[in-house]
Structure 1
Amino acid sequence: MAELTTLSAADIAGGIVAGEFSAGEVVSAHLDRTARLNADLGAFARVTGTEALRRAEFIDDAVASGSAPGVLGGVPCPIKDLTPVAGVGIEAGSAALKGSVADVDDDIVGWLAEAGTISTGKTATPEFGLPCYTEPAGAPPAVTPWDCAKMAGGSSGGAAVAVATGMAPIAHASDGGGSIRIPASCCGLVGLKASRGRIGPGRLRQPGPGLTTDGVLSRTVADTAVSLDVLAGRGQGLTYHAPPQQPGFLESARTPPRHLRIGVLTTPVIAEAEVHQACLDAVARTVEHLATLGHDVVEAPVPFTVDRWTAFEDIWAVGAATIPLPPGAEGSLRPLTRWLRERGRRVSGVSYANALSALQRLGLEVAGAWDGFDAVLTPTLAQPPLPIGALRNDADPAADFAAQTRFTPWTSVANLSGRPAISLPLHTALIDGAWLPIGVMFTGRFGAEALLLSLAAQLEDAVGWQHPFLAAEPVGLPTRSNP
């Protein structure tokens, strides 16, 4: 039998129902690996092993009694530390919330639990999920296991590290400007941002302007698809609501796509940025694979000019400014967070209304430019995973923010327009003596997750990808973590 930490979520759920192993054995194996690796990789903000083992007993009792444990019954799935879990600490990567404990579960926690998942803890995130790197206050940075001197990305960086190293088969994540897809690229994973309104925010959160959505990070397209089946359709009553999908997303992933017309774009959109040759090569090789599979690939236009992205900046800053803090906690915030909050407070009501209107216009412009394509292919990022600290600039937060936009000049287009987008780990490149994952991203039409998953599964079958660190040691792991 394969090591339990190397199995997909689908294989774990199926094996538990078939009696090949128990949920308790699965959870114990993942907790053991977490205990050995987490201190050096920065995946978890806190581990809830006792609660996870208790939940595993519940799943095993259900299986023994003949009850269905859920489509993801017994699958470890930690929760990002921006999301409350009742009775568990929630610090959101911030010293300002140190010692905070959630009173109730966020709805997404309940939805995942209904499917049978088992939370093994809270994964690391940067302060309030604002930057695209995961270097939280008072904790180790989240690093990619492909080179432990390089970043895991963010803001779902801890979740990505957990999945890439066998601490979890899937992990809850969220994406407001690329925060699922960025760490997916840095850690060699599958990362889907769903359409606006596909997954509701639940009752605890304000719906907001529709930039952000929840999801998971996974190692396989099937695990991403079944997770979307679990989470989708929860947005009834929202201003934005994606149409229902029939058949389900897992079934769509199992169905090869028709002949597709795919646009390709390597020109940065939201910032003027230099694109690393490895990222350009990844797109070029993907174009070759698509042609071999019988798809048409043609050049796609830039959907809007760089100056139009200021709408996102204003909305992002106002979002930071509205985060509630305990009294007197403002001074303990990171410089970037303080800068964003100060900027957000300067945005007038009229300016914010104009930014929301601009958001809608940008969505129309993206549709006008890209609706002739079934999907548009870009690099996920402009650079391979960068060294820890390469983007962070506490002395000049404005420069920090600008550097982040140059690193991620395509991801937020999907957030602005509400379109689905998926990063796939199709390529690697030898950089600074280590092989690093290089993701490519497909952005689809609004509501077209099924097509993206079908195409992603076709590429997974035809090209495939490797996850070398599910049982093996990450590259550059400090010797103190060795057994």
Structure 2
Amino acid sequence: MSSIGDLSAVQLRDALAAGELTAVETAEHFLARIDRHNPALGAFVHVAADLALARARALDTLPAGAERGPLHGVPLALKDLHDVAGMPTGYGSAAVAGPGGNPPLAETDDDLAAVLRASGAVLLGKTQVPEFGLNCYSENLVAPPARNPHAPATGAGGSSGGQAAAVAAGLLPVAPGSDGGGSVRIPAAACGLVGLKPNRGRVPTADAQSDAAQLVVHGPLARTAEDAALLLDVLCSPAPGPAHGNVVRRAVRAAPQGSFLETVRAARRGRLPWGDRPLRIGVSTASPFDSVQDIEVSAEARAGLEAGVAALRAAGHEVGPARLSYDPEYPEAFFDVWTTAMGTAPLDAEQAGRLTGLAGEFRARALRRSAVELARAVTVLRRVEQEVVQAYGAWDMVLTPALAMTPRPLGWYWEGYDLADPAGADQDYRRQCAYTPWTSLVNVVGLPAVTVPTLWTRAAGDDDGPVVPMGVQLVGRPSAEAQLLAVVAQLEDGALPGSRPARRGAGAPGP
């Protein structure tokens, strides 16, 4: 059998199920990798070695015939936005720190942690996030930034940046993220992974007031389509026992052919979820932010898009231009809805004074926003949803670049300002929109989407710089996650031009 670090998540799951590996030796392997490599990566902000090993020992001593979950013994971690019993929840923020500067320990699991625990997973700890998950980069005032394993002077993206860095560096086999404006797809694209945002309602999600437009959904970050499908099957399970709050539970959860993993495996055998016909895929670089700023698509982003077009055509699909445009009211409406969560965060004045400049400024604006203004913004986004779903319906999928630029240097967003200075908030936000102009729209309209790397390149003018991934985003029709994963499998099997092995790109730490 291959070494533990060489196994995909599916192979690791199978080895654990067959008794070829124990949960303890698997946990020990990944904990050792975290101990060795995390100081340079900043992926983990809390490692719960004792809790993880106790959990692994309990799994290894289950009596014969006892039911084992679909991820029995598989090591995972959660973003530091989720409650895991016995672990601190810091939200990436100095504002929630208690006495001694430490965030409080969670007494119970939240819904996502409960689902993963019921699946048999071993939770190793918590990973780095931006403050309250607000940004597309994982840098804050409380812990080292999550670095891109392929180019450590750049960021891993956000808000699931720690998760992406950990998977890309082999500190985790696969990871669950949450995506409210691109927070799975952005770090996956920056780190050369597959990142899937499921359809709205596919995965049971807390229905909180802080998510007024229902933007957020959990999804997998993985090295392969099969690994993403494995985790998506688990994420679609309802939380065991009483829900921790209201839960969105719509009747779209199961994959049309059974499990998502079965769908991907069937696609590799030639049984495609769309039948024998080619897919019609429309290509566009138009962005909903075009009405308020000049969105520049870098040469590297265009090369990644062209590589994706070529690979899709080689797979037999019909790929052509899609002439799309977007409501000019989108940028303001999205901003108003997106920043509402900071206004509802339960912080007193002293705590609010410890926020980063961007979070503090956006909280102040949210608190000044009236309920009528928020209702109008939600109305605009619902109108955008109807228009976009209808427009995208002319194609089976819509293809865009994943990101507009190569991974951004650490500190780039607030360059010229201090991270705690609210004067830098507007520049920071504009740069976030310029870096990732295509992802937030997909959350607004609720469609499923996936990012996949299509080539590896150096940034223009940096001939001696690190080789980094560039990729594409595919947006599917409603509830078409199975089709998206099948297309990713086709691209993987077609040996994308200039691609690197999907499980570990050069530049990631070794064993």
Letter in 2 for 1:266: T
Aligned-pair distance for 1:303? Answer: 4.2
1:189 match: 193
1:288 match: 310
* Alpha-carbon spacing, 1:152–1:363, altered in 2? closer, same or farther (3 Å): same
2:74 match: 75
Q: Per the alignment, in what secondary structure is the counterpart of residue 35 of structure 1?
A: helix
Determine if the alignment matches structure 1 residue 466 to structure 2 residue 475.
Answer: no
2:489 match: 457
User: How many residues matched?
Assistant: 476
2:428 match: 400
Separation (CA, whole Å) in 1 of partners of 2:33 and 2:151: 18
Separation (CA, whole Å) in 2 of partners of 1:10 and 1:460: 16
Determine if the alignment matches structure 1 residue 112 to structure 2 residue 116.
Answer: yes
Letter in 2 for 1:51: L
In the superposition, the TM-score normalised over structure 1's length comes to 0.93
Aligned residue among 327, 337, 342 for 1:315: 337
Separation (CA, whole Å) in 2 of partners of 1:441 and 1:196: 17
CA contact (8 A) 1:148 1:474 kept: no
Of stretches 29-38 and 2-11 in structure 1, the one that deviates more from structure 2 is 2-11
CA contact (8 A) 1:5 1:168 kept: no
* Cα distance per residue 1:373-411 (max 9 Å; x no partner): 111111111001011111135442111111100111000
RMSD over aligned Cα, in angstroms?
Answer: 2.3
Aligned-pair distance for 1:469? Answer: 8.3
Aligned-pair distance for 1:2? Answer: 2.5
* Alpha-carbon spacing, 1:389–1:467, altered in 2? closer, same or farther (3 Å): farther
1:300 match: 322
Aligned residue among 257, 261, 272 for 1:250: 261
* Alpha-carbon spacing, 1:126–1:287, altered in 2? closer, same or farther (3 Å): same
Aligned residue among 180, 184, 207 for 1:180: 184
2:360 match: 338
Separation (CA, whole Å) in 2 of partners of 1:403 and 1:203: 29
Q: Per the alignment, in what secondary structure is the counterpart of residue 308 of structure 2?
A: helix
Aligned residue among 131, 135, 159 for 1:131: 135
2:375 match: 353
Separation (CA, whole Å) in 2 of partners of 1:416 and 1:234: 23
2:396 match: 374
Separation (CA, whole Å) in 1 of partners of 2:78 and 2:484: 25
CA contact (8 A) 1:82 1:91 kept: yes
2:3 match: 3
* Cα distance per residue 1:249-299 (max 9 Å; x no partner): 112222333421111112333243111111111111111111111111121
Letter in 1 for 2:80: D
In the superposition, the TM-score normalised over structure 2's length comes to 0.88
2:446 match: 418
Q: Per the alignment, in what secondary structure is the counterpart of residue 152 of structure 2?
A: coil
* Cα distance per residue 1:208-244 (max 9 Å; x no partner): 4210111221111111112111122649986783623
Aligned-pair distance for 1:327? Answer: 6.0
Letter in 2 for 1:412: S
Please list every run of 5 or more consecutive structure 1 residues that lacks an aligned counterpart in the other structure: 476-481
CA contact (8 A) 1:107 1:203 kept: no
Q: Per the alignment, in what secondary structure is the counterpart of residue 214 of structure 2?
A: coil
Identity %: 40
1:262 match: 281
Aligned-pair distance for 1:106? Answer: 0.5
* Alpha-carbon spacing, 1:338–1:44, altered in 2? closer, same or farther (3 Å): same
* Alpha-carbon spacing, 1:471–1:233, altered in 2? closer, same or farther (3 Å): closer
Please list every run of 5 or more consecutive structure 2 residues that lacks an aligned counterpart in the other structure: none
* Cα distance per residue 1:397-427 (max 9 Å; x no partner): 1111111001110001111100111011221
CA contact (8 A) 2:205 2:248 kept: no
* Cα distance per residue 1:419-468 (max 9 Å; x no partner): 11101122111223211011211011121111111111111111265358
Separation (CA, whole Å) in 2 of partners of 1:473 and 1:21: 28
CA contact (8 A) 1:269 1:302 kept: no
CA contact (8 A) 2:206 2:248 kept: no
CA contact (8 A) 2:457 2:470 kept: yes
Separation (CA, whole Å) in 1 of partners of 2:443 and 2:295: 19
